[in-house]
Structure formats: C-alpha cells, structure tokens
Amino acid sequence: MTALTLRDFVAGYDPDLPIVKDVTLDVPEGQVLTILGPNGAGKSTLIRAVAGMVPIFSGEVRLSGRDVTRAPAHALARAGLGFVPQTENVFTRLSIRENLQIAAELLPRSARAARVAAMLAMFPDLAARPEALAGSLSGGQRQMLAAARALLSEPRVLILDEPSAGLSPKLVAQVFDSLRRIAQGGVTLVLVEQNVRAALALADRAVVLVDGRLAHDAPAAELVGNPLLGQLFLGARAA
C-alpha cells in the first residue's frame, strides 16, 4: 500500500512561476524517504504544498490512496498527515503543555491526557516546566517540542523540514534517534535534510530535487559516498 502518492505535482507561490515541477513520487507505507537537493531547489516548497501550506497548481496528492489534493490543511492533519515546518513550528505564546494538547486533539478524546503525560515523560527538558511558554525555550528545546507534538499526534505519514537544522551535534543525534524510533513504529517518514550523511543513514530511499524536478531516485545505501550526489549538488549550484 502506498502511504503517499504525488502525481504530476506542480506547486509554488505564483501560477506563472511554479517552483515544484511535475513531481511524481510513490512512498510505500513504512518507508523512510529523504529528499535531498541544493539550496533553493524547492524541497521546502514541495513538502509545504503537500501539507496544505502552499498552493498546488496541478497534479494530485493521495494519502493512503485517497485524493486529498484539495483538502484544507487541518483536514490533512486529521487524516493522519503530520508536518513539522523547519522554523516557527511551535506556538510560542502557548505553554509547552498547551502545544502538546493541541496535538492531542487529533487523537480520540479518551486517549489524550495519557498521551500528553507519556510524551512529557519521554522529554525531561519539557517535563521540567510544562506550564512555561514555548517561546521561552531554546532553539533545541523548541525542535524537541515540535518533534514531541508530531509524535504525540500519531500521524501515519510524518513529513519534516530539516529537523536538525541549527542544532548542536548532540541534539542532532537525539533528533535522529527519535526519528529512528518513530520509523520503527511503522510511521512513513519523509525527511528533508541538509545533513546528508545522517539522513542517508536513517533513510531507506533518497530522492534528489534539482530546480523543482526529481533528478535522482535510489536506495539510500546506494547514495552513501556516491560522487553522483556531489555532482547533482554542484551542478545545480553552478547552473
């Protein structure tokens, strides 16, 4: 069963100037896919469009086979699509607990309180002062809160935009640890990363986006240490 399908997907900010061009992609259930590519290739635009944050101009998106191309963002979230933006991914004027409670609203009512408690138990930094405003957290702690809330809502497909960007090496390791755990739980993961080495180590499969188009699609292991990757990045930069 495919968890996420894109067909001739075209998206961007201006219909006359699409950023993502004719992307077709099948992500099987349980797969960990990483999307790589040079700066400005359109990786963020692609996944933000899938999540309902950027206009889709043509083509379609399917979630577990169901056409959700025109579904509003909140309906996608309720249908099991989790998305964590790279920045501004928590509500800074809400408390840590309230951020988690909003995620818990995607679960059956009876499960909510226990899941919030379980998630706090898993992240001691957050549990230390759950009533503090998320805006008072450090950058790393905010990413942790964003990851915790994504985990909490139990999405079937989880898409993350550079979850390790700007974090210390120790925190990067922590983030990839928790991603590995999420993947082991059977969640389909789509990961945009600049940290190519760590992303390839985690992923089953990698695609490379260059100038809004899929330039390469291979098992992740094949790309590790592959000079092709450097060429794709450098080629695109030179162009």
Among 31, 89, 141, 164, binds other proteins (CB under 8 A): 89
Q: Tell me which stretch binds ligand ATP (CB under 6 A): 42-50, 77-85, 138-146, 215-223.
A: 42-50
Q: Are 180 and 23 in contact (CB under 8 A)?
A: no
Residue 102 CA to residue 152 CA, distance in Å, equals 10
Which of these, 184, 187, 178, 132, lies nearest to 158 by C-alpha position? Answer: 187
Which of ligand ATP, Mg ion, other proteins, none does residue 78 bind (CB under 5 to 8 Å by kind)? other proteins
Distance of CA 139 to the CA centre of its chain: 18
Q: Tell me which stretch binds Mg ion (CB under 5 A): 21-29, 41-49, 133-141, 210-218.
A: 41-49
**Binding of ligand ATP at residue 40 (CB under 6 A)?**
yes
Residue 239 CA to residue 225 CA, distance in Å, equals 23
- The shares of helix, strand and coil residues in the chain, as percent rounded to the nearest 5, are 40, 25, 35
Per-residue x/- mask for Mg ion, residues 44 to 73, rule CB under 5 A? x-----------------------------
Which residues in this chain contact other proteins in the complex, by CB under 8 A?
51-53, 72-74, 76-78, 83, 85, 88-89, 91-94, 98, 101-103, 105-106, 149, 153
